[in-house]
Structure 1
Amino acid sequence: MLPAPSRAQRTALPPETLDPEPGPGSAAIATGAPPAPASAPRASAPVAKPRDPYFDNVKYLAIVLVAVAHSWEPVMGDSRAARAVYMIIYTFHMPAFILVSGHFSRSFDASPGRMKRLVTGVAVPYVVFETAYSLFRRYAGGEPDAPITLLDPLFLTWFLAALLIWRLTTPLWRTLRHPLPVALAVAALASVSPGIGNDLDLQRVLQFLPFFVLGVLARPEHFVRVRRREVRLLALPLFAAALAFAYAVAPHLQLGWFYRSDSAQELGAPWWSGVTMTLLMFGCALLLTAGFLSWVPARTTWFTKLGAGTICGYLLHGFLIRGAEYAGLIDGNAWLSGPAGLALVAVMAAVAVTLLCTPPVRRVMRFATEPDMAWAFRSSPAGR
Structure 2
Amino acid sequence: MAGARERIALFDNIKGLLIILVVAAHFMHPVHNDNEALSALFDITYLFHMPLFVFVSGLFAKSAYRDGHLNWNRIISFTVLGFAYQTALLAINGVLIEHPGRLLLFTSAPWYLIGMAWWYLATPLLARLAPSTGVLVSVAIAFASGFFDLSNGLLAISRSLAFLPYFALGYYLKPAALEQLVKRRVLWLAVAGAAAIVSLRLVDVHAYDWFFQMVYGDNPFASAGAVAGIPAGSPAAGAIAKLVTMGIAALFSLAVLRLIPRGTSHLTTLGERTLQIYVLHRLIRAALTFRTPFYDLRVSSIRSGGRRSSWRSQAASSSCARSRPSPRPSPGSWPNAGYPDNTLTTPPAPLWGRVTLCRFRYKRTRPQSGALGSAYAIVRW
TM-score (norm 1): 0.69
Q: 1:176 to 1:29 in 2, by over 3 A?
A: farther
1:54 touches 1:298 (CA, 8 Å); kept in 2? yes
Query: 1:242 offset after TM fit, Å?
Result: 1.5
- Structure 1 240/112 Cα, relative in aligned 2: closer, same or farther at 3 Å? closer
Are 2:138 and 1:183 aligned?
A: yes
Query: For 1:118-133, what aligned pairs fall within 5 Å after superposition?
Result: 118-120=75-77, 122-133=78-89
- CA 1:200–1:113: 2 relative to 1, 3 Å: closer
Superposed displacement of residue 87, structure 1: 1.6
Which position in structure 2 is the counterpart of 1:218?
173
Find the aligned partners of 1:184 and 1:113 in 2 and give their Cα distance.
23
Whether 1:279 aligns to 2:243 is yes
Give the Cα separation in 2 of the matches to 1:335 and 1:300: 34
SS in 2 for 1:304: helix
Q: Which amino acid aligns with 2:179?
A: V
1:83 counterpart residue number: 39
Number of the residue aligned with 2:214: 257
For the 8 Å contact 1:192–1:272, the answer to whether it is kept is no
Cα 1:29–1:220 change in 2 (3 A) is farther
| Aligned pair partner of 1:164 in 94, 100, 117 | 117
| 1:333 has 2:298 as partner | yes
Distance in structure 1 (CA, Å) of the matches to 2:293 and 2:206: 27
Structure 2: distance between partners of 1:28 and 1:96: 23
Q: Does 1:308 align with 2:263?
A: no
CA distance 1:227–1:58, shift in 2 (3 Å) = same
Q: CA deviation at 1:156?
A: 0.2
Which structure 2 residues correspond to residues 50-69 of structure 1 after superposition, within 5 A? 52-69=8-25
Question: Residue 263 of structure 2 corresponds to which residue in structure 1?
Answer: 299
Residue 192 of structure 1 corresponds to which residue in structure 2?
A: 147
Q: What is the deviation of 1:157?
A: 0.3
- 2:98 is aligned, of 118, 131, 145, to 145
Does the aligned pair in 2 maintain the 1:123–1:160 contact within 8 Å?
yes
The separation in 2 between residues aligned to 1:229 and 1:64, in whole angstroms, is 26
| Alpha-carbon distance in structure 1 between the residues aligned to 2:125 and 2:69 | 18
**Post-superposition offset of 1:205:** 1.3
Higher alpha-carbon deviation: 109-118 or 88-97: 109-118
Task: Tell me how far 1:89 sits from its aligned partner.
Answer: 0.7
Offset at 1:97? 1.0
Tell me the distance in 1 between the aligned counterparts of 2:202 and 2:56.
29
CA spacing shift, 1:156–1:197, aligned 2, 3 Å: closer
* Aligned amino acid, residue 329 of structure 1: F
- In terms of fraction of residues, the more helix-rich structure is 1
Aligned CA distance change for structure 1 residues 258 and 331 (closer, same or farther; 3 Å): farther
For residue 284 of structure 2, the aligned residue among 320, 326, 336 is 320
- Measure how far apart 1:232 and its partner are: 5.6
- Contact 2:64/2:70, CA 8 A, preserved across alignment: no
Listed one character per residue, the Cα deviations across residues 92-151 of structure 1 (whole Å, up to 9, x for unaligned) are 11111111100111342177782213323x122112111111111117xxx862325442
Is the Cα contact below 8 Å between 2:60 and 2:171 reproduced in 1?
A: yes
Deviation, 1:218, is: 1.3
State the alpha-carbon separation in 1 of the partners of residues 99 and 200 from structure 2: 40
Q: Which amino acid aligns with 2:177?
A: H
Distance 1:64 1:145, change over 3 A: same
Contact in 2 for aligned 1:57/1:307 (Cα 8 Å): yes
Kindly tell me the number of residue pairs found equivalent between the two proteins: 295
Give the Cα separation in 2 of the matches to 1:332 and 1:61.
29
Query: Cα–Cα, structure 1 residues 336 and 229, in superposed 2: closer, same or farther, change >3 Å?
Result: farther
TM-score, normalised relative to structure 2: 0.69
Residues 1:264 and 1:30: Cα distance change in structure 2 (over 3 Å):
farther
Q: Which SS does the other structure have where 1:288 is aligned? A: helix
Encode CA deviations 1:307-330: one digit per residue, 9 max, x unaligned. Answer: 221011111111222222222322
AA matched with 2:261:
P
Unaligned runs of 5+ in 2: 225-231, 307-378
Q: Is the CA contact (8 Å cut-off) linking 2:223 and 2:238 kept in structure 1? A: no
Q: Deviations over 1:52-85 (max 9, x none)?
A: 1211111111111111122222111244443232
User: Does structure 2 retain, via aligned residues, the 8 Å contact 1:232–1:291?
Assistant: yes
Q: Which runs of 5+ in 1 are unaligned?
A: 1-24, 33-51, 342-368, 371-384
Q: Distance in 2 between matches of 1:112 and 1:229?
A: 36
Task: Show the counterpart of 2:108.
Answer: 155
The answer to whether the Cα contact below 8 Å between 1:29 and 1:224 also exists between their aligned partners in 2 is no
Indicate how the Cα distance of structure 1 residues 148 and 331 shifts in structure 2: closer, same or farther if over 3 A, else same: farther
